Amino acid sequence: MMRTPQPPDLIMAVLSVDLLVQILDRLPDSGDRKSFRLVSRGFLSAEALHRRALRVLRREFLPFLLRRYFALESLDLSACPALDDTALAAALHTAGGCQGLKAVCLARATGIRWRGVEVLVAACPRLEVVDLSHCVGIGDREAAALAAAGGLRELRLDKCLGITDVGLAKLAVGCAVLERLGIKWCMEISDLGIDLLSKKCRDLKVLDISYLKVTNFCLQSVSCLEKLEDLTMAGCSQINDEGLRFLNNGSNSLRSIDVSRCNNVSTWGLVSVIEGHKCLQKIVAGDCFPELVPLFLTKLSGLRDTLNVLKLDGFQVSATSLQIIGVHCKNLGEIGLGKCRGMTDECISELVTYRADLRTIDLTCCHSLTDNALVTIADHCKKLTCLLLESCSLITEKGLDHIGTCCTDLKKVDLTDCAVNDTALRCLSPCLELMVLKLGLCPSISDKGLVHIGSNFRKILELDLYRCTGIADGGLAAIAAGCKSLKKLNVCYCVRITDQGLKHLSFLEELSDLEMRGLVHVTSAGITAIAVGCKSLVELDMKRCYSVDDAGLWALSRCSEKLRQINISYCPVTGVGLCKLLGSLRCLQDAKLVHLTRVSVEGYEIALRASWDRLKKLKLLSGLRHFLSPGLLQMLRARGCRIRWVDKPESFCLPFSLLL
């Protein structure tokens, strides 16, 4: 008897795989692509053929996924904290290698050592991009294994503390076509390593040496890199103006330089850089030197057609200096003036009168600014997309009304600690493109203000309501109804919120980061609603939620499989709940477990042993250091887990029986 063709079979009879792949090209939304591959096996095969990038959340699925998605070009394993050499080698062997793979992210995969790197390089002959940042086990031997990837063009090694000049030398010799390198916080690298790197990797375009203990000699070597476009050297305290003068030779095509927090650099050093590079597009010099000298301001005229970003946080400024910047920097699109001393309404007026094309203005902690500054900005900067006004406490709804009316392209607004109210939010309602809104420490905002947000800001992705004590469950209902794309929400210490408010939030399927400290009326019922509804949740902070017990942790362990970071400090949970949570969440990397007074030492021991191979960060009471077994602590440290011991003995009480 012949089988009656089912609808998916009929579809496959009409649509070829090539046509299905073209359809996938026109589905940018991840949810739509997921629905597509669930139609039938044919659709699933087409999706496997089409997919070029993959982010793996669970180590145990890696072999299966590599076999299915054989056409991958980019693989992100940063969410697999328990990944080690054995698991990586087994997955690559099962998949028969990854011949087309070009980019691999292993950030924070602290179980990876030289054997894993060696297998990866052998299995992926087309490898061009590797990210090993924050892998504390990566050292010179791993660098030597990676050097076999001769086609490597981009490498991130930020905070790989074991790498020295020897490892960098091996990379420089083996990866001669390297174009982008990040070695931020690699404290064992010195001038010698940078010198050899500069001689061997002549194609370098982007270099980050922030916080290294390098000297001026390092910049003498870097100045010979003819193709260098972006140099970041934040916090290099041993470099001074003499070092920057080496960059004056103009032998490279420098477009961006960052000397922020370089305490020994002054405007004279930056002047020499500007003189040698007339095509600079970005200068970051925040918290570097105290004031702008006239010569520096004059030299900016040489960058009138190229300079696009200028960050001068912490400087002493005046109306005259900002007028000069406005007049000379015709192409300026972003300016950072946070914490600048001497900032007044007149300063803003002089700047924006000449620079109407500004798109980003950072005025964080410019306490003297009033509504007059906002009116001036609104009148001139019609294309503004980002306005940061944290702690500008003198502004009111009057100034924001002008901003809302004239700057309708705004995508990010920071009004933290500005004491704005519901009327101010109504004034911003014409800004329909808003994606990030920060309103922390604004207690005058109520549910009425959140209704304005939910009704108008449909594209919002991040909302900060930290200590907005006037909001309650009704406001969260408005947010959940109108802001369906919300990914990050902070409602810490909004003490009127109850379980009902969290039930409203549970309809936000895209929510990945929820901060809800100090919600004293929330119980495990509210946490359960979040766990069941918010399937994308990655970070959860419920410190001081005094009514959340084991039932909430059980719900999270069952439903929040993507959770990577959690804070349950001061919650009345027991060792059973803690063990269930840490043992079940396979993606968990960061846990803050302070003042869990109902958890015994044995409870901590069992829970941490259940997750020792995944955890990268732990926060515990210092009193526990003396009671947890040395073997457990050694295992955690061996896998790169950083334990932060906090000393709060007055709140730390172990049952007497446990001390015997």
**Enclosing H/E stretch for 490:** strand 488-490
CA distance linking residue 48 with residue 63, whole number of Å: 14
CA distance linking residue 330 with residue 310, whole number of Å: 12
162 beta partners: 139
Residues 6+ apart with CB under 8 A from 537: 511, 512, 513, 514, 530, 531, 560, 562, 563
Residue 461, Ramachandran bin (φ over 0: left; ψ between -120 and 50: alpha; else beta): alpha
- pLDDT score recorded for residue 658: 38
What type of residue sits at position 360? T
Tokens of 33: 């692509």
CA distance linking residue 424 with residue 392, whole number of Å: 14
The answer to whether residues 75 and 104 touch, using CB atoms and an 8 Å cutoff, is yes
pLDDT single digits (tens) 16-25: 667 776 777 7
Q: What three-state secondary structure class fits 44?
A: helix
The answer to whether residues 259 and 270 touch, using CB atoms and an 8 Å cutoff, is yes
- pLDDT score recorded for residue 1: 46
C-alpha of 84 from chain center? 24
Residues 6+ apart with CB under 8 A from 4: none
CA distance linking residue 303 with residue 329, whole number of Å: 7
**Enclosing H/E stretch for 406:** helix 397-406
C-alpha of 7 from chain center? 44
Q: In 10 A of CB 584, how many CB atoms?
A: 18
Cα 111 to Cα 102, 384, 615: the distances in Å are 22, 45, 11
CA distance linking residue 92 with residue 101, whole number of Å: 11
Tokens of 636: 């955690």
* Closest by Cα among 465, 565, 469 to 505: 465
**Three-point CA angle 501, 502, 506, nearest 5°:** 125
The answer to whether residues 436 and 459 touch, using CB atoms and an 8 Å cutoff, is no
What type of residue sits at position 323? Q
The answer to whether residues 283 and 311 touch, using CB atoms and an 8 Å cutoff, is yes
**Enclosing H/E stretch for 208:** strand 206-208
3-class secondary structure for 410-441?
CCEEECCCCCCCHHHHHHCCCCCCCCEEECCC
- pLDDT score recorded for residue 181: 98
Domain segments of the chain as ranges: 11-46
* Closest by Cα among 551, 655, 548, 542 to 603: 655
- Rounded percentage of the chain residues whose pLDDT exceeds 70: 94
- pLDDT score recorded for residue 650: 44
H-type alpha helices, 546-629: 550-559, 575-584, 601-609
> pLDDT below 50 — which residues of the chain?
1, 650-660
User: DSSP labels for 209-265?
Assistant: -TT----HHHHHHHTT-TT--EEE-TT-TT--HHHHHGGGG--S---EEE-TT-TT-
CA distance linking residue 68 with residue 626, whole number of Å: 48
CA distance linking residue 67 with residue 86, whole number of Å: 17
Tokens of 351: 């700047």
The answer to whether residues 269 and 245 touch, using CB atoms and an 8 Å cutoff, is yes
**Three-point CA angle 190, 196, 201, nearest 5°:** 120
- pLDDT score recorded for residue 267: 87
**Which pTM value belongs to this model?**
0.91
**Enclosing H/E stretch for 642:** strand 642-646
What type of residue sits at position 479? I
H-type alpha helices, 95-185: 114-123, 140-146, 165-174
- pLDDT score recorded for residue 13: 54
Tokens of 107: 């950030």
- pLDDT score recorded for residue 465: 98
CA distance linking residue 33 with residue 23, whole number of Å: 10
Residue 412, Ramachandran bin (φ over 0: left; ψ between -120 and 50: alpha; else beta): beta
The answer to whether residues 61 and 38 touch, using CB atoms and an 8 Å cutoff, is no
